[in-house]
Structure 1
Amino acid sequence: MAKGYWVCTGTIHTPLGMVSYISAFNSWLEAVGARLLVRDLFSDVREGEPGTVNVIVEFESREAAVAAYDSAEYQKLIELRTPHSDLSVTITEELTDH
């Protein structure tokens, strides 16, 4: 089964305001069986304006990634994050040979 991923890009406006979100997010990732693959707060952006934050989170499947995002627990975490950042989250899956 193909792994699912969150690809997150954007900007953090108030880094200290993100402390509670990051702490809760890291604990939540473990609880849902996800794995943080990339966390770069100062990415070298060459094209476009996605912001300098890049995060990639791996899940067992695309369905697991969608369920995790839609969960009540993560929806509460969004409320901690949004006052301090502008992030986009895309859910996708790995390329597999068919």
Structure 2
Amino acid sequence: MGGAKRAMEEQQDRFQMGLALCIEVDAIEECEHHPGTYYQSSADLDDVYKFANAGVSAGRIKLPDRMSRRDLTDAIKAAYEDNSGLDYCSSCDKIARS
């Protein structure tokens, strides 16, 4: 596997880890009718950061090789920013408006 492909896979894995943490803390929610569609929920970004940092410190969250805490916070931020802004599922909203 080439270096570029490996780097892309690591980036995607980090994003998925950030997204999973956002979901666990209830900062992002997945639509029950549209799997893979996410929207902002009740917690905020700082709540996810605090949860993740405490989890890493306590050993509940194990960082993959070559992943720092900074990488983790960057992944959390990317996942949150990519899926926040709306507090509802845009696909459900489109259907309701039709």
TM class by shorter chain equals 0.3 to 0.5
- Bigger fraction of residues in strand: 1
Higher relative contact order (CA 8 A, sep 6+): 1
How does the TM-score come out when normalised to structure 2?
0.33
How does the TM-score come out when normalised to structure 1?
0.33
Between structure 1 and structure 2, the one with the greater Rg is 2
- Bigger fraction of residues in helix: 2
